[in-house]
Amino acid sequence: MSSNDVFDVLNINKKSSTPVPAPSAGNLAGVAGSTNKPKPQVTGMQRELYSLLGENQPPVMVAQTSSRFKEKLAGKPSPWSKTDFFNARKDNPYKLTFQHWMKGSKELLGDEPQESTFLKFDQHFTLPTFTKEEYDEFMKPQNDSSSNTEENENRWSFEEVDYLMQLCKKYDLRWFVIEDRYNFGESVRSLEDLKEQFYEVCRRYFENKGPAMPLLKSLTFDKSKETDRKAYLQRLLSRSAAEIAEEEALIIESRKFEMAAKKTLNDRESLLRLLDSPNSNKSVVQYMTSQGMSLLYSNMLNDKSKKRKHEAGVPENPWMKQQQQFAQQKQQLQQLHEKKLTAEQGTDSGSEQSPRKTKRQKQELQNAIKRKSEAQYAEYLLQSFTMEERKNLGVIAHGEKLSPGVFLRSTKISTFKPALQNKVSSTMQELGLPLRPAMPSYDVVQKEEELLKAIVSLLELKKQLDKLEAEKAIRS
């Protein structure tokens, strides 16, 4: 900011360095006239703000009209009167009168108390009303059967239904308030019981009035569905952090499978597009010359539709880091085991020389060492998992040697000789169990094996018992 700007903001006239000539007698009148000229009055802007403008005044002044905010003093004030009013509802037991201010004179409003102007907003539900005879009539079963006898036993009394209807009318079907205020004798009713009984009574009432009423479709309430919904929501909200983490891991796995399937589908489409020969209707004569071949080559290079975009890769496996850590631990254990073996072999060779081994014996020794190291590594890994974590992650320690390749777990269920197998099958049918489990998980297969062993032991005991009873009958 220069000095001229500062002087301009502070409204200070800068003194000129050149001497000002003295006014002559001829121009005194003009000077006096210029100094005595009145400044125009500015409206709508403060004087200090206007003085900051200096000589650079805006072309259009923003001014507010005085007539816009002028008070209307010529108008006559409206009278307000304090009058009485009352609540004109028929079911209001209290005939109380209150007072409020209303616009108008007392002569115009009158001396009699008037109805409240807010009475039109006081609306309530119209619920059906009936007597005990009408209740017994429309709640009577249509035909006699065992279901109707059970319905008669579970039917509410007229007094309790009337008490429920009064609460519904009083609290405008606010069911949580109704459940909190419900207190009829020694009966304990849940929220679903109250809703079911209310909608059932209303449906029977309107069916008795006329079967073609449009309200019948809306008067339905499924108690079992509502109970299952609340139970499902309760289980959903009571999940532990481990269960939520497992669900998130499953979602990640499912998304990974979707991405892999999408990638496979795109690769298949691109491969089919490459293998499929295009159907061209043009003649190939123009490409028979060298100039035509060069033109075809340049067109193929410039064809952007043949370029393939870089496909997004499959998302990383969430257990990859843990598997890498396990592989490092396995390598470390193998190195430690090899060091121990070399140390033991060195001590044995120093004490006495062992006979030379054949190539087959050396191979068997190496396989035995490898199996032992893998078993130690598996035991080391299983120590860091609890039983619940093993079950959630599917970690199983097999005692027997497994056959190579993929197999079904149901094929590992024990089988017996034909005669014994028939007896086992008949026993399973007597127990109402299938011969093969529908869902052969690890726990189900283990329980199946225990059951089969117990059945075989029972059949063997029965066989010995029958043999002893036959010998006893022969001796007697």
pLDDT of residue 459: 92
Q: Which two tokens stand for residue 130?
A: 């009936």
Q: Is the pLDDT of residue 469 over 80?
A: yes
Q: Is the pLDDT of residue 329 over 90?
A: no
Q: Which two tokens stand for residue 230?
A: 């609340």
Angle at 136 between CA 135 and CA 137, to 5 degrees: 90
The least confident of 54-63, 311-320, 382-391, 446-455 is 311-320
What secondary structure, in 3-state letters, does 211-263 show? CCCHHHCCCCCCHHHHHHHHHHHHHHHCCCHHHHHHHHHHHHHHHHHHHHHHH
pLDDT of residue 310: 45
Q: Which two tokens stand for residue 457?
A: 């032991």
Give the list of residues 6+ apart from residue 178 with CB closer than 8 angstroms, or none. 164, 167, 168, 171, 194
CA distance 223 to 200: 11
pLDDT digits 0-9 by tens, 188-243: 889 999 999 999 998 888 888 777 777 777 888 888 999 999 999 999 999 999 99
Give the list of residues 6+ apart from residue 132 with CB closer than 8 angstroms, or none. 158
Average pLDDT of the chain is 77
Cβ(326)–Cβ(384) below 8 Å: no
Greater model confidence, 274 or 267: 267
pLDDT of residue 253: 94
Greater model confidence, 473 or 339: 473
pLDDT of residue 31: 46
CA distance 389 to 238: 19
Which class for 363: exposed (0-12), middle (13-18), buried (19 or more C-beta within 10 A)? exposed
Greater model confidence, 249 or 3: 249
pLDDT of residue 352: 47
Angle at 31 between CA 49 and CA 24, to 5 degrees: 150
Q: Is the pLDDT of residue 69 over 80?
A: no
pLDDT of residue 313: 52
- CA 309 distance to own-chain centroid: 34
Residue 102 β-bridge partners:
81
Cβ(192)–Cβ(227) below 8 Å: yes
Mean per-residue pLDDT, 454-472: 91
pLDDT of residue 228: 94
Q: In what order do the strands lie in the sheet with 97-103?
A: 97-103, 80-86, 114-115
Longest dimension (CA), the chain: 173
Torsion, Cα 423 425 428 430, to 10 degrees, reads -70
Determine how β-strand 97-103 pairs with β-strand 80-86: antiparallel
Phi, psi of 80 (to 5 degrees): -125, 135
Q: Which two tokens stand for residue 273?
A: 């597009």
Cβ(331)–Cβ(380) below 8 Å: no
| CB atoms inside a 10 Å sphere around CB 135 | 19
Pick the closest to residue 393 from 319, 314, 315, 316 (CA basis).
319
pLDDT of residue 144: 55
Greater model confidence, 141 or 462: 462
The least confident of 206-215, 346-355, 379-388, 422-431 is 346-355
Q: How confident is the model at residue 399 (pLDDT cuts 50, 70, 90)?
A: low
pLDDT digits 0-9 by tens, 11-64: 777 655 455 455 444 454 444 444 555 666 666 667 777 777 766 665 565 665
CA separation, residue 465 to residues 74, 287, 428, 474 (Å):
123, 97, 21, 14
pLDDT of residue 398: 67
pTM recorded for the entire structure:
0.38
pLDDT of residue 167: 92
pLDDT of residue 54: 65
Greater model confidence, 212 or 169: 169
Residue 101's SS3 state is strand
Q: Which domains does the chain have, with CATH numbers?
A: 3-51 (no CATH), 132-237 (1.10.10.60), 320-344+360-393 (no CATH), 411-475 (no CATH)
pLDDT of residue 226: 92
Q: Which two tokens stand for residue 248?
A: 């998130």
pLDDT of residue 464: 92
pLDDT of residue 45: 67
Q: Which residue type is seen at 229?
A: R
Q: Is the pLDDT of residue 468 over 80?
A: yes
pLDDT of residue 29: 44
Q: Which residue type is seen at 367?
A: N
pLDDT of residue 254: 94
pLDDT of residue 37: 55
Q: Is the pLDDT of residue 93 over 90?
A: no
pLDDT of residue 351: 46
| CB atoms inside a 10 Å sphere around CB 424 | 20
